[in-house]
Amino acid sequence: MRAVSFLTAVTLVIGAVASPIYRRANVSNVQCTDPNTTLDSHTTNVAILAICGGIAGTIEKCQGAPTNTTGQSGDVRFTLTPTVAGATINISKGRWEQGVKAAFAQCGQDKPFTAVIQGGASSGDVAVKLEQV
């Protein structure tokens, strides 16, 4: 009986260590604005990387401290604004992408939404809107 309990415990520990844990950015106030619309996945991905003048490749963070920014590709647009007046956007690529994934987890992949991503600004959080234009 002890051997079975021991093997069960070892299996659980090995499984826990072997499974990657992905931390998603904290997202609040998620509103699914148009559940009947599904945006083109490729166009959405291009728009994700178009914020802040472009964060593709080796760029790891929003550059230039903008007070707002958009990322648009075709008919898909992300709009980001700080939640605190006068703050600037300095969101990292990782936080941004994880925030979008967290909102998609609630609304559905490539569905329009509004949400607030924790952090990502010189003060306060970042409000995000994904829409079809």
* Backbone torsions φ then ψ of 129, nearest 5 degrees: -130, 125
Distances (CA, A) of 133 to 78, 128, 129: 10, 15, 12
Does residue 5 surpass a pLDDT of 60?
A: no
20-70: pLDDT as tens digits: 444 556 999 999 999 999 999 999 999 999 999 999 999 999 999 999 999
DSSP state of 35: T
pLDDT above 90: residue 15: no
Q: Is the pLDDT of residue 71 over 60?
A: yes
Cβ atoms of residues 48 and 98 within 8 Å: no
Confirm whether pTM is higher than 0.75: yes
- Provide mean pLDDT across the span 72-99: 98
Pair of tokens at residue 109: 């992949």
